[in-house]
Amino acid sequence: MPLSMHQASVPVFTQGLTGLRIVLGKAAAHVEARGIDPTALLTARLYPDMFHFTRQVVAASEFARGCAARLAGQEPAPYDGDDTSFAGLTARLEAALAYVATFDAAAVDGSEGREITLQRRDGPVVMTGQAYLLAQSLPHFFFHVTTAYDILRHNGVEVGKKDYLGIS
């Protein structure tokens, strides 16, 4: 049986967001147990020209939400939450998981040829749903999830592969 667009997107985003939620929880516990100012981790980055941890979490959630919605032929619903704390970021991930779960196979399957238009600074970019998923959304999603994980690991948070994979 061929892999459907739904199978290649929604469960993948769900697993990645779940792993990110797990490492976020471990980061919150880490700062609490050690009496560290949470801002130290929330604003940490791997290099000065890279996004900080908070922005990595926001970006990952937005790529998952945006892709699921656009594959279903919709524009993503806005999310207005507090992204300045571990609790706020956890709420963002919970909301993203719930939102992505609203897109069932019937809504997403068959979107491989659907035209997706993205508004970029230099103008609109049009691509097929398959190209959008495989060459745009998934690579960006995993980049931001991995970078968020790496920032925490680099700063001493005890997270591992099972946490990243969302199976711990």
Q: Kindly report the three-state secondary structure assignment for every residue of 134-165.
A: HHHHHHHHHHHHHHHHHHHHHCCCCCCHHHHH
pLDDT tens, 105-117? 999 999 999 999 9
pLDDT tens, 123-164? 999 999 999 999 999 999 999 999 999 999 999 999 999 999
* Cα–Cα dist 57/90, whole Å: 9
pLDDT band at 1 (very low <50, low <70, confident <90, very high): low
Please state the rounded mean pLDDT for residues 28-34: 97
Tokens of 89: 């970021």
Q: Is the pLDDT of residue 168 over 90?
A: no
* Cα–Cα dist 162/136, whole Å: 25
* Cα–Cα dist 103/107, whole Å: 6
pTM value is 0.96
Helix (H) or strand (E) holding 118, with range, is strand 115-120
Tokens of 149: 């994980």
Tokens of 63: 């790529």
The pLDDT value recorded for residue 39 is 97
pLDDT tens, 42-101? 999 999 999 999 999 999 999 999 999 999 999 999 999 999 999 999 999 999 999 999
* Cα–Cα dist 129/108, whole Å: 10
Burial of 79 (0-12, 13-18, 19+ CB in 10 A): middle
CATH number of 5-165: 1.20.120.450
